[in-house]
A = this chain, B = another copy of it.
Amino acid sequence: MIVTALPSLPIALDAMGGDQAPSEIVAGARQAAEELGVAVVLVGRPEEIGDTGGLEVWPASEVIGMADDPGQSVRRKKDSSLVRAAEAVRDRRACAMVSAGNTGATWGAALLRIGRIRGVSRPAIATPLPCPGSDTPTVLLDAGANVDCKAEWLLQFAQMGAVFSRERYGLPSPRVGLLSIGEEPGKGDSLRKDAYALLADGAWTETTGATFVGNVEGRDILSPEVDVVVTDGFTGNVALKSLEGAMRSLVDAVLATFGSTAETQAAAEVLMPALLPLYGQLDPNNTGGAMLLGVDGVCIISHGSSNATAVVNACRVAAEMASVDIVGSLATAVTPV
């Protein structure tokens, strides 16, 4: 699929970030340029990047590893690919940055180098969660950036998540839920009670076209009843990984039964074509990555084990979000607190 309105600036792609960097990142960049027609610049060590198939390289001598401390590494490794990619967005030399590297460091680099949208208290990571059997993913935010949150930040997450859901999935009136442990307004801890009071006052929805559907529970996240689920970064990350873990453990157990006898194996082969679309839907390489909402530029975070396909999808989302000027929409939608 060609991105319809191409951004005029290239995407700054962190060539060194991710478990399969740089080979799969470079392969994905070449594929994105070819298939989507977007301009991609690889940021990193030219000698490790190798043949770019003609894509430009912006040299950066340092690499922030997956295990590096996010805050320290961003401050110390000033010539890292991640920091340089963020600076390219800040300096308007790139329309967006994409990284499959250290999530915390990506957040840190974007926050420190690009900075926040005026009025945004805390940028948040918005992660699309594919819902088995449903077309539109649920957007969960914050998926891990801000562990100790204030209720006012959750209100901004709601506004930003609604804009993302609208711009990315074309939902004119996204249904936003507050993640809690019971549907009634009074349910949850003190943060949830305070956040509920703010969200129930519908004024915040006027800037976004969103609808507040009240509290939702963990079991509702993948349901077709909600489009955006708002929570603090600690709970969001636990929920996200619990969902992933449950799916993985169930898929593994089902596959084990498929392989248990020659008879089940034959039956499983008949089912495989029907199961493959579901398998593809749940493959994280196909979701297009998470987006850091609230920084003054487009920043897409692809998962750590991204392959070339994941990079193509992340670049596509980056180009789309840049071309619709999601940052401008976020700036308009968010109520300063």
**Residues of chain A at the chain B interface (Cβ within 8 Å):** 131-133, 144, 147-148, 179-181, 188-190, 192, 217-223, 231-235, 237-254, 256-258, 260-261, 263-264, 266-268, 270-271, 274-275, 278, 282
Cβ contact of A235, chosen from B144, B234, B260, B264, cutoff 8 A: B234
Sample (5) of A-B pairs whose CB atoms are under 8 Å apart: A188-B234, A189-B232, A218-B242, A218-B243, A219-B248
- Given A222-B249, A238-B238, 8 extra CB contacts under 8 A: A144-B181, A147-B189, A181-B241, A188-B234, A220-B245, A222-B246, A242-B243, A243-B245
Contact B218 A245 (CB under 8 A): yes
**B147 lies within 8 A of A188 (CB):** yes
* Contact of A189 (CB < 8 Å), options: B131, B218, B234, B274: B234
Secondary structure call for the A interface: helix
CA–CA, A321 and B258, complex, Å = 37
How far apart sit A148 and B131, CA to CA, in the bound complex (Å)? 30
Taken together as a complex, chains A and B put the C-alpha atoms of A68 and B207 apart, in Å, by 36
Contacts of A237 in B (CB 8 A): 181, 217-218
Q: Could you tell me the distance in whole angstroms from the C-beta of A174 to the nearest C-beta in chain B?
A: 19
Task: Give A185 Cβ to nearest chain B Cβ, in Å.
Answer: 12
Decide if B219 touches A242 in the complex (CB within 8 Å): yes
Contact of A247 among B232, B246, B261, B268 (CB under 8 A): B246
* Beta-carbon nearest neighbor of A147 in chain B: B189
Residues of chain B with a CB closer than 8 A to A267's CB? 267-268, 270-271
Least distance between A62 CB and chain B CB atoms (Å): 21
Quick check: A218 and B244 within 8 Å, CB to CB?
Answer: yes
Please, how many angstroms separate the alpha-carbon atoms of A232 and B223 in the complex?
Answer: 25
A69 (CB) vs chain B CBs: closest residue: B186
Bound-state CA distance A188–B321 (Å) is 30
A190, closest chain B residue (CB): B148
Question: In the complex, A188 Cα to B235 Cα: how many Å?
Answer: 10
Report whether B264 and A239 are in contact in the complex, using a CB–CB cutoff of 8 Å: no
A304 to B25, CA, bound (A): 49
The 8 closest A-B pairs by CB, nearest first: A218-B241, A219-B245, A132-B253, A218-B242, A246-B246, A267-B270, A147-B189, A181-B237
